[in-house]
Structure 1
């Protein structure tokens, strides 16, 4: 039997970790932005989020994929609606309350796309 190699620690850029955590990288603390994140550290952040992470997840600013999900539209739909900047939870809630015409239209487009994807999945 060959001698076992020491286990290599998987690391990722902080930008990648922020994306996996569902937060906006530029809003994370400087010490998070400056280092690398191991797989174990990422798992720990997900299991026991520190105060800064919980706050970002709760109030934002949120990255576009989170904004799109909270509004029930695609990322492309956000762009078509003119939303190009990260939004806070309050801004998202205000947009939902206002329910502009573009948001209603993009929600309909998203619902149709999901319905079609489900239909195709059932065909297979």
Structure 2
């Protein structure tokens, strides 16, 4: 007989990252024990009230905060935004954006546009490389 296979688990921080929530705001029972992949799937498929509420109102982890503000994680660092923010605080920032937010959003948009330009150029180069030679005759 084979020994029973143990279910793989992850640290609560990893599970919180995969769920897009700020770990310190999660309930103690979530923060204190390893999470199995089956438990993670169950949380994704049928989120409990606390998870739904955290996803809706925050506080949000840095990557979610950056996405909601339309800036990069580095932009948050440059602006010295180190605390987590709630949906209400994010709404207030977006309603009356400070100078740093306008600057970082413009910078982020420029970087994304440049990345798209490079990607399109690379796709064009790949397509040209893969074209069959024209029959010259």
TM-score by length of 1: 0.92
What are the residue-to-residue correspondences of 1:83-98 with 2, within 5 Å? 83-98=81-96
State whether structure 2 residue 90 is matched by structure 1 residue 103: no
5+ residue gaps, structure 1, are none
The CA deviation at 1:98 is 1.2
What are the residue-to-residue correspondences of 1:1-124 with 2, within 5 Å? 7-124=5-122
The CA deviation at 1:7 is 4.5
Paired residues in the alignment total: 122
RMSD value over aligned CA atoms? 1.5
5+ residue gaps, structure 2, are 123-137
The CA deviation at 1:64 is 0.8
Structure 1 residue ranges (4+ consecutive) displaced by more than 6 angstroms after TM superposition: none
- Over 3 Å counting, the alpha-carbon distance change for 1:117 and 1:6 in structure 2 is farther
